[in-house]
Amino acid sequence: MPAIEIRNVKKRYKELQALKGVSFTVEEGEFFGLLGPNGAGKTTLISILAGLARADEGSIAVRGHDVVEDYRNARRSLGVVPQELVFDPFFTVRETLRIQSGYFGLRNNDAWIDEVMANLDLTEKADVNMRALSGGMKRRVLVAQALVHRPPVIVLDEPTAGVDVELRQTLWKFIARLNREGHTIVLTTHYLEEAEALCDRIAMLRRGEVVALERTSALLQRFAGTQLFLRFSEGVLPAELRALEVDPSNADVHQHLLRLANYDEVERILALCRANGCRLEEIEVRKADLEDVFVQVMSAPEVIEGLA
């Protein structure tokens, strides 16, 4: 039984078709990445998953529990860390987590609350009022709230947006531990190095559609290979090299990232640039990473064959 099963989900907001028939599954114990540019439909999909919005068509189930028909069990199985900072200003951190426990009918949950706070470096702030916390500390409390009922499925919507390095490292250490213990993790993030390091499998959304869905290693292997970064102080890229650009929409005429079949192409490319009057300021040969994959997938005119 999948941890999450999403079947042909569609959602429209007036003139905007936010989701256009999204389907995929997340298996038990996976660390799954959901990536896409702003406006791709990620938060809309998470809102439907969490019961904060209703799909116009299709269905979502969490561990076999439909989020509409069996919402109580679906929500007990799910912990969501929202993108926005939402908090009650009248309670301390500990009171906030106890109240959250009460939503799920949990009593005598202080031992787990203490463990969650310790792992998120919140212990010293346990008796501090929520409104007195910094933005980073408030985000830690949101993570703690999502974990307080020990959900088997955890969804993190941009959990490290605008936070310091310390929180990022603390959070990922704790989340990685939960994943090793069997929890299913779904992550949305614009920090693609995080997704590359953490996620077993990745789905990419663009304008409400899944345009790539594959294991992270397979994505990297498909797009990996040698790339050549060029920066010019004078001149523009020769027209015959434009087909090699990783990002064809690149508007910067002075720097370009080109795909290479092998190292032998470097000499030919440099010769063409010099013959075209280009003065080279910087040259770098490197391997593709998930950011390069993301740019190529998002700039492709259609769904990339074999990726969805």
Q: Where are the domains of the chain?
A: 4-77+151-220, 225-287
Average pLDDT of span 38-67: 93
Average pLDDT, the chain: 88
- Higher-confidence residue: 112 or 139? 112
Mean pLDDT of 3-26: 94
Model confidence band, residue 301 (pLDDT cutoffs 50, 70, 90): low
Assign domain 4-77+151-220 to a CATH class. Answer: alpha beta
> Does the structure show a pLDDT above 70 at 158?
yes
pLDDT band at 305 (very low <50, low <70, confident <90, very high): very low
Average pLDDT over residues 158-170: 79
Residue 293, pLDDT score: 82
The larger pLDDT score, comparing residue 293 to residue 97, is at 97
Per-residue three-class SS string for 212-271: EEEEHHHHHHHHCCEEEEEEEEECCCCHHHHHHECCCCCCCCCEEEEEECCCHHHHHHHH
Architecture of domain 225-287: 2-Layer Sandwich (3.30)
Output the pLDDT for position 304.
Answer: 52
